[in-house]
Amino acid sequence: MTDRYCVIGSDVSRSPSPAMMNAAYKALRIDAEYAGVSVSEPRFPREFRRLAASGFKGMNVTIPFKTAVIPLLDGLDAVATRIQAVNTVKAEEDGRYFGHNTDPDGIVDPLRALTESLEVRNAMLVGAGGAARAFCEAMNRMGCVDLAVAVRDVDRAREFVRGMEGAFPRMNLTLASMEDLRHLGHDLVFNASPMGAGGEPLPKEIKRVLPGTKIVFDAVYRPRETRLLAEAKRIGAATIHGEEMLLHQGMAAFRLWTGKEPPEKVMRKALVGSLLGGLRAKRGRAKR
């Protein structure tokens, strides 16, 4: 019987995850299929329970359900418990569904691919959502000491900062408004917000604090070359594209679900092909 997996979010119609994961199953001759499931926020609990009742072996959870899924699960692993966010759900043999979070792997693995001896002592995080929680876990693993959190709405982000301070007491978090950024020369700047996904100009506040930064990592994967990454290249910083996070979190989920080593080259080729295919389709529509 074919094992079924999916990614569930408010709109995953353009997600490259099905192409990436199905290519991996095919390469390893695993009888499985992976689909996208788009659902509105009011219908999410019912849809999740329906998928679980129909025997799905695993799910990836994306915006805006990484926290909303928690009450629907039978338990969480240590990482998901710490950061209170889930991006991967696994069905256990007894039928219970447990939440995991592979997003930190999607951040740490590309960073370590730059150099095994990489040290991140201070970083700036843009955003305070689910990906931001994963970034805090990743920075804790890498020994980060000082983390500045840059947001538009400081009041809304206070709860996020309090939660992360409790989860990672050895890390000093500083909350700052985007309009009041003053720190320069970070080891790493990470964008965990939708900034740049619509191709809009880079906020001048971010542009001002980039000089001296060693690495800029953008979680946004469409467009591939965001304004943030273009500016980072211009000032000579190393850059990591959002597709790297998507690839490595997907590889970690594949490993969790199947117990097998994921075929990285196959998954990368399918991922890039899906992203380029979507770009070509968009250009084609624009010409009509």
Here the tokens at position 241 are 């594209």
Catalytic residue among 66, 269, 282, 287: 66
State how far the alpha carbon of 235 is from the alpha carbons of 120, 215, 262, in Å. Answer: 19, 11, 35
Specify the pLDDT at position 62.
96
Q: What is the CA radius of gyration of the chain?
A: 19
Is the pLDDT score of 249 beyond 90?
yes
Do 126 and 193 contact (CB within 8 A), yes or no? Answer: yes
Average pLDDT over residues 189-199: 93
Split into its structural domains, the chain has a count of 2
d(Cα 180, Cα 233) in Å, to the nearest integer?
A: 24
State how far the alpha carbon of 60 is from the alpha carbons of 88, 91, 103, 140, 195, in Å. Answer: 4, 12, 11, 23, 22
Residues 236 and 248 in one domain: no
Residue 117, domain extent: 104-240
CATH number, domain at 220?
3.40.50.720
Residues 183 and 114 in one domain: yes
Residues 60 and 122 in one domain: no
Residues 57 and 131 in one domain: no
Specify the pLDDT at position 288.
42
Residues 112 and 219 in one domain: yes
d(Cα 83, Cα 130) in Å, to the nearest integer?
A: 9
Q: Taking Cα atoms as reference points, which of 58, 73, 68 lies closest to residue 24?
A: 58
Q: Which residues of 186-215 are buried (b: 16+ CB within 10 A; e: fewer)?
A: bbbbbbbbebbbeeeebbebbeebbeebbb
Contacts of 45 (CB under 8 A, 6+ apart): 68, 72
Is the pLDDT score of 281 beyond 90?
no
Here the tokens at position 168 are 């990672």
Q: With residue 75 as reference, give the H or E element that holds it.
A: strand 75-76
Residues 130 and 232 in one domain: yes
CATH number, domain at 16?
3.40.50.10860
State how far the alpha carbon of 123 is from the alpha carbons of 71, 173, 204, 226, in Å. Answer: 32, 10, 19, 20
Low-confidence winner among 27-31, 126-130, 217-221, 282-286 (lowest mean pLDDT): 282-286
Beta bridge partners of 59: 6, 89
Domain boundary among 240, 259, 279: 240
Residues 120 and 220 in one domain: yes
Residues 217 and 277 in one domain: no
Residues 255 and 269 in one domain: yes
Q: Taking Cα atoms as reference points, which of 148, 196, 155, 168 lies closest to residue 83?
A: 168
Q: Taking Cα atoms as reference points, which of 74, 64, 66, 69 lies closest to residue 11?
A: 64
Q: Taking Cα atoms as reference points, which of 226, 238, 145, 144 lies closest to residue 193?
A: 226
For residue range 239-248, what is the model confidence (pLDDT) as tens digits? 999 999 999 9
Residues 55 and 136 in one domain: no
Q: Which residues of 266-285 are buried (b: 16+ CB within 10 A; e: fewer)?
A: bbbebbbebbeeeeeeeeee
Residues 69 and 171 in one domain: no
Task: Tell me, yes or no, if 66 is annotated catalytic.
Answer: yes
Residues 220 and 251 in one domain: no
For residue range 62-79, what is the model confidence (pLDDT) as tens digits? 999 999 999 999 999 999
Do 254 and 246 contact (CB within 8 A), yes or no? Answer: no
Q: Is pTM beyond 0.85 here? A: yes
